[in-house]
Structure 1
Amino acid sequence: MLVKFLLPQKLRLAYSAFGFSVIIALGACSQKAVTTTTPAPPTTPDTAPASPKATYQVPVDYYTLDNGLKVVLSPDKTTPIVTVAAYYNIGFRNEPKDRTGFAHLFEHMMFQGSQNLGKMEFIQLIQRNGGVLNGSTRFDFTNYFEIVPANKLETILWAEADRMRGLNITQDNLKNQQEVVKNEVKVNVLNQPYGGFPWLDMPQYANKNWFNAHNFYGDLKDLDAANLDDVKNFFKTFYSPNNAALVVSGDFDPAQAKAWVKQYFDAIPAADLPPKVDLTEPRQEKEQRFAKDDKLATKPALAFAYHMPDRNTPEYYAMGLLDQILIQGNDSRLYQALVQERGYTGSVSGGINSGLGNMFNYNGPMLWDGNLIHDSSVTADSIMAVIDREIKKLETNGIDQALLDLAIVKMRSSFYDQISQTYGFGKADLLASFALFDNNPARINTLENEFRKVTPELMQKTLREYLRPTNRTILTINPLAKS
């Protein structure tokens, strides 16, 4: 079931594609390891000595239960609410090849009842306690979170553990959710102008590895083919504690929270996990161009995408700053050139992992992209010529320290905006992602310093390698509807 809900615009867009969503107005443990700091990487010729550490620090208490569940506690007494977030290391990319869309289908199944909560009772439990909840499927995880008054923390921990321990998996529930997801595909993609453009389309055109390039929403025939055994095996394998991270953030007593986590989660058995999927992409050596007819669109559209550097490399952080310079905000080079100076379009959107998250909450190959809807009098070639000129200006003129400093200010603002999003859910999202992917949620406190290490020389090196025309894919939309 997909319920329309109200969120700040930035988060609403991020959760509109794949997510079961509901919003209601807010009214001592077994440990294997503790990690609270990240050692600084060695200085290289392309990185400057580390700047003074950021003054703002997110509290991070990180440990692992005996069954493999990663737990992050982050106390914050600012407001009397708590966020509980359960993240499972299963997303679009590692779903079975003959079951496209299964990761998303299973997200819906998690609301169909568990051992002690009947169908939809999980949602009702949050509602009765004045809370907010949501679930979504992304490239590398499926997540569920609840935000409730602080005195209801134990209740929510019990409920999350109850559905991690076991779902009420029935043929009726499966059939019902198959139809819900199929209807979602029809409403959001098949019967929508620019449906799936570019967040669903571009990965399929730009990537070569099937795991990065298939239809994440799911082919209707694959959704129909899912059976009860598929669901049971999927749950038993991927929804196990040793494939998950649990975050508790907000106004709570850490000692009490640890006791509750142990009480409700410690006895859930671990599972035998399959080998990790190979997500590697070959180096792109030639520009790719594709066109897609859209019977419902009234204006042409264009999207471009460049393959990103590997996550957590110096070039990755440099690309984050190039993103700020080129496409983020009304002061960006592409907005100024395409909107303000030429009037080719009314807006330019995009970024790293755009449409499905941010540059931090993924764990594999990624695209930096941009997209726009434009008048039919403007050709795709003329738009790409402007984009090429703006990139070439940066390559020819260089990126001086003043421009780099401005990009860092914008990045810093965006990062702290992310942390504070939706009553603190943005912070829980980063903590869970860094626990799942890096085994170190305290990375949240070192990111600002990583960006400050980037030099103008590294920016130039990154621009030349990753923003070359041979590293990009261009997708255009041919409108077939009459305006």
Structure 2
Amino acid sequence: MVNFRRIVLDNGMIVLMHADDSTPLAAVNLLFRAGSKYDPIAKSGLAHLFEHLMFSGTPLVPEFDTPIQEAGGENNAYTNSDYANYYSYGPAKNLDTLLWLEADRMHNLNVSQSALELQQQVVIEELHETCLNVPYGDIWHHVLPLIYKDHPYQWPVIGRDEKEIGDISLQDISAFHQQYYQAGNAILAIAGNIDLDKTADTIHQYFGSLPGTKKDVQTYLFDLKGYQPQRLGLTSGVPVEAFYMIFPMPERNSQAFYALDLFSDLLVDGRSSILYQNLIKETQLLSTVDAYITGTLDSGLFIIEGRLTHGVRIEQVEHQIWQILDQQIGHAVNPSTMEKLKNNVESAIVFSEAGTLNKAMNLAFFELIGDAALINDEARLYHEIGEYTMREVASQYLRPELASIFHYVK
């Protein structure tokens, strides 16, 4: 059980605090509703680029990392489709420093033209190293615009291409900062060896005077009646042929999310899993196989992917997968198998809450999706999914008429 206190500052910032006197550490997690789906049109990659620029320094702190390291702490950040997340941790006695640094850069970030151009080059190099110059690395550049035609999930977090990243101006950065990196659009979570009342006073002192307005979050739901599946062959010099079978699925807050997450585990949970045993060990159609969900806040994706054994045709693989799905959806799952799936999920949830930093990060995330109390309730939501419900939900979303197929041809 992760007990926490929730307060809302007058400027709209949501604050979550968890006290734990068993650790000498304190962690600070600052989340902004500022993921890549908020990138301006034709300026894709701005949210991710802005994350890089948040380390540019301020007039008072030219080098953000230096005072954190001097305080015995560490920090990092990441951006995804829905939000940007910044975290730091260190000795609890230095929590004041961690909070002051976040408040300072949140309000006084100093980005020069040279800093912008430098980070644009860094991101463009990252685009090549992780997407364009590695086998299969450009898959999301092909998948997303075809699946999400009317939603800003249609571009990857890193950006569509060099041009759009390079076209981002200092004015774009300033506007994004003012619109999304303000208190009313932020969730601050602190966990560790803290005094709740004193920490609340410190937060009011550093963050209470920052400007803030409530930022409405737009959501998008798939209309399955209007959805058109896609089929695309890709040629990009890959070492072996690969495929991605992709289905649209409901948003993160949907009950169907939990059912489909369990179903993906049923398909690929270990070497005894159904897909491994059938497609790799028995038929030897594939050399690797995986199934997973994206878990985005708006409508997500259920994905089955694999790499073909030499000489195997994609039609053979598709036929075998449909047979497997029909078998799993059409027949009851053994109770011991369901129990194992749920136990594995619960173990993963418990492990994710083991560390001080993880607690802060999870509190902020669950607040983002609607209720921080889900940090203590999500295991129950998985356990409440019966095997019939799991199969019924899978039958609704994992249908041939909803499957988009992306095939890398050697």
Query: For the residues of structure 2 that align with 1:76 and 1:477, how far apart are their CA atoms?
Result: 50
**Which runs of no fewer than 5 residues in structure 2 stay unpaired?**
none
| Other structure's SS at 1:99 match | coil
Partner residue of 1:404 out of 310, 327, 338: 338
Query: For the residues of structure 2 that align with 1:453 and 1:472, how far apart are their CA atoms?
Result: 28
CA contact (8 A) 2:80 2:157 kept: no
What letter corresponds to residue 274 of structure 2 in structure 1? R
Q: Aligned in 2, Cα 1:429/1:390: closer, same or farther, shift over 3 Å?
A: farther
TM-score by length of 2: 0.93
Query: Cα RMSD between the aligned structures?
Result: 2.0
Q: Which residue matches 1:108?
A: 52
Query: For the residues of structure 1 that align with 2:362 and 2:75, how far apart are their CA atoms?
Result: 17
Structure 1 range deviating more: 121-130 or 160-169: 121-130
Is 1:431 matched up with 2:363?
yes
CA contact (8 A) 2:284 2:309 kept: no
What letter corresponds to residue 429 of structure 1 in structure 2? M
Mapping of residues 6-405 of structure 1, within 5 Å: 57-118=1-62, 121-197=63-139, 199=140, 201-218=142-159, 219-271=161-213, 273=215, 276-283=217-224, 287-295=229-237, 297-353=238-294, 359=295, 362-405=296-339
Q: Aligned in 2, Cα 1:152/1:350: closer, same or farther, shift over 3 Å?
A: farther
Residue 201 of structure 1 and its aligned partner are, at CA, apart by: 4.2
Q: Aligned in 2, Cα 1:186/1:269: closer, same or farther, shift over 3 Å?
A: same
Cα-to-partner distance string for 1:89-108 (whole Å, 9 max, x where unaligned): 01111211121111111111
Q: Quick one: percent identity of the two aligned structures? A: 28
Cα-to-partner distance string for 1:304-339 (whole Å, 9 max, x where unaligned): 221122333332221121122112333322122222
CA contact (8 A) 2:247 2:404 kept: yes
Residue 278 of structure 1 and its aligned partner are, at CA, apart by: 4.8
| Other structure's SS at 2:245 match | strand
Q: Aligned in 2, Cα 1:183/1:375: closer, same or farther, shift over 3 Å?
A: same
Cα-to-partner distance string for 1:197-233 (whole Å, 9 max, x where unaligned): 3x55433333222412124322211112111111111
Query: For the residues of structure 1 that align with 2:232 and 2:78, how far apart are their CA atoms?
Result: 29
CA contact (8 A) 1:236 1:271 kept: no
What letter corresponds to residue 430 of structure 1 in structure 2? N
Aligned length: 408
Query: For the residues of structure 1 that align with 2:228 and 2:350, how far apart are their CA atoms?
Result: 37
| Other structure's SS at 1:444 match | helix
Residue 167 of structure 1 and its aligned partner are, at CA, apart by: 0.7
| Other structure's SS at 1:389 match | helix
Q: Which residue matches 1:37?
A: none
| Other structure's SS at 1:347 match | strand
**Which runs of no fewer than 5 residues in structure 1 stay unpaired?**
1-56, 354-358
TM-score by length of 1: 0.80
Q: Aligned in 2, Cα 1:328/1:63: closer, same or farther, shift over 3 Å?
A: farther
CA contact (8 A) 1:204 1:215 kept: no
Query: For the residues of structure 2 that align with 1:75 and 1:144, how far apart are their CA atoms?
Result: 20
Q: Aligned in 2, Cα 1:253/1:196: closer, same or farther, shift over 3 Å?
A: farther
Query: For the residues of structure 2 that align with 1:175 and 1:447, how far apart are their CA atoms?
Result: 43
CA contact (8 A) 1:200 1:216 kept: no
Query: For the residues of structure 2 that align with 1:215 and 1:459, how far apart are their CA atoms?
Result: 30
Query: For the residues of structure 2 that align with 1:331 and 1:74, how far apart are their CA atoms?
Result: 39
Residue 160 of structure 1 and its aligned partner are, at CA, apart by: 0.5
| Other structure's SS at 2:339 match | helix
Query: For the residues of structure 2 that align with 1:70 and 1:464, how far apart are their CA atoms?
Result: 39
Query: For the residues of structure 2 that align with 1:424 and 1:334, how far apart are their CA atoms?
Result: 36
CA contact (8 A) 2:141 2:155 kept: no
Q: Which residue matches 1:43?
A: none
Q: Which residue matches 1:419?
A: 353
CA contact (8 A) 2:74 2:90 kept: yes
